[in-house]
């Protein structure tokens, strides 16, 4: 990250960027431990009642459709989601919880989570079938997908009135380039803001690097993670807009892309319901 970049300097000067939430900090430490135990992870999560309730709600959602309802974080891990997915989801929600956005009525929190969850789910699924020897780890792809739009939350948190105006302009005229409008009005766009925040909070370097990669124009020197996430995010945006094209991602078999895209569309209503529940 080039901290001499005026965009990053703008953020460095902000004194109101909050610290990484305590729960997220504890989960981040656990992310470095590949042998973390289910009981230890559940214990950290259960110290946060709100996070506990949301995770149990996710596990019981129509999107994951458990065979029987679960009532504890441990059961959510063992019976439905798995340890790594719970750890990533809990971390993503704890991080986002440190940036309240209620002061910006024009920011659609449901849409935020829809793109985050959709991109994470699709990118992780595609990573599992990638034939590329440098293919991203599916769990890492999920985490990057879940956090890739974190910069949106930071800009809305720091400049709620300006972002409310900009989001209103985009809603009225979808041809408006939001990133360009952000740079003109604030001096920094949400990609730069996201990369800065991830570095500032010392999140996994793959998240920072991937957000920086998404800020650049597509090119042959993109990392496999950025290629995967860009493809997943773009296609999810098409689904959200009601006009999904054909999903194709470098290194992933076309038949598997078709299978994953068909499965995604069939579960899209359940994903929207899940995103709405996370926005409340």
Q: Position of tokens 């610290």? A: 19
Residue 204 tokens read as 């996994």
Interhelix angle 83-97/22-31, nearest 10 degrees:
150
Mean pLDDT of the region 39-47? 94
Percent of the chain at pLDDT exceeding 70: 94
Instruction: Compute the distance between CA of residue 245 and CA of residue 234 in angstroms, rounded to an integer.
Output: 10
Instruction: Compute the distance between CA of residue 213 and CA of residue 223 in angstroms, rounded to an integer.
Output: 8
Contacts of 203 (CB under 8 A, 6+ apart): 28, 95, 147
Q: pLDDT at position 58, please? A: 95
Question: Is the pLDDT confidence value at 4 over 70?
Answer: no
> Which residue, among 18, 90, 31, has the nearest Cα to 55 in the 3D structure?
90
Mean pLDDT of the region 27-45? 87
Average pLDDT, the chain: 91
> Which residue, among 46, 121, 99, has the nearest Cα to 77 in the 3D structure?
46
Instruction: Compute the distance between CA of residue 23 and CA of residue 95 in angstroms, rounded to an integer.
Output: 8
**H helix intervals, 107-246:** 109-129, 138-147, 150-158, 160-172, 178-185, 190-200, 205-215, 224-240
Q: Which fold would CATH assign to domain 101-280? A: Hypothetical protein af1432 (1.10.3210)
Extents of the domains making up the chain = 14-98, 101-280
Question: Is the pLDDT confidence value at 5 over 90?
Answer: no
Instruction: Compute the distance between CA of residue 76 and CA of residue 58 in angstroms, rounded to an integer.
Output: 9
Residue with more model confidence, 132 or 216: 216
Mean pLDDT of the region 169-192? 93
Lowest mean pLDDT among 22-26, 198-202, 276-280: 276-280
Question: Is the pLDDT confidence value at 52 over 70?
Answer: yes
Interhelix angle 83-97/150-158, nearest 10 degrees:
20
> Quick one: pLDDT band at residue 210, thresholds 50, 70, 90?
very high
Q: Dump pLDDT digits (tens) for 218-249.
A: 877 889 999 999 999 999 999 999 999 999 98
The full DSSP string for 22-49 is: HHHHHHHHHHT-TT--HHHHHHHHHTSH
Contact 229, 141 (CB under 8 A): yes
Instruction: Compute the distance between CA of residue 259 and CA of residue 87 in angstroms, rounded to an integer.
Output: 27
**What is the reported pTM?**
0.92
> Which residue, among 278, 251, 280, has the nearest Cα to 56 in the 3D structure?
278
Q: Based on the number of CB atoms within 10 Å of its own CB, is 125 exposed (0-12), middle (13-18) or buried (19 or more)?
A: buried
């Amino acid at each position: 990250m080039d901290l001499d970049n005026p965009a990053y300097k703008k953020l460095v000067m902000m004194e109101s960027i909050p610290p990484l939430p305590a729960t997220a900090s504890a989960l981040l430490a656990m992310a470095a431990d590949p042998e973390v135990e289910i009981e230890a992870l559940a214990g950290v999560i259960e110290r946060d009642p709100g996070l506990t309730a949301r995770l149990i709600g996710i596990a019981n959602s129509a999107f994951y459709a458990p065979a029987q309802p679960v009532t504890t974080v441990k059961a959510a891990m063992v019976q439905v989601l798995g340890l790594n997915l719970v750890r990533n989801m809990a971390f993503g929600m704890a991080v986002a919880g440190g940036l309240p956005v209620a002061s910006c009525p024009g920011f659609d929190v449901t849409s935020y989570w829809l793109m985050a969850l959709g991109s994470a789910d699709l990118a992780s699924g595609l990573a599992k079938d990638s034939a590329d020897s440098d293919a991203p780890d599916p769990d890492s792809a999920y985490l990057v997908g879940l956090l890739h739009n974190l910069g949106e939350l930071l800009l809305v948190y720091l400049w709620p009135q300006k972002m409310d105006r900009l989001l209103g302009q985009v809603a009225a005229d979808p041809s408006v380039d939001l990133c360009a409008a952000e740079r003109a009005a604030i001096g920094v766009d949400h990609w730069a803001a996201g990369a800065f925040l991830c570095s500032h909070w010392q999140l996994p370097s793959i998240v920072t690097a991937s957000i920086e990669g998404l800020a650049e124009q597509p090119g042959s020197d993109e990392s496999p993670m950025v290629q995967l996430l860009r493809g997943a995010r773009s296609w999810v945006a098409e689904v959200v807009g009601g006009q999904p094209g054909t999903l194709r991602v470098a290194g992933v078999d076309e038949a598997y892309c078709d299978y994953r895209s068909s499965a995604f569309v069939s579960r899209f209503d359940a994903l929207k319901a899940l995103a709405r529940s996370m926005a409340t």
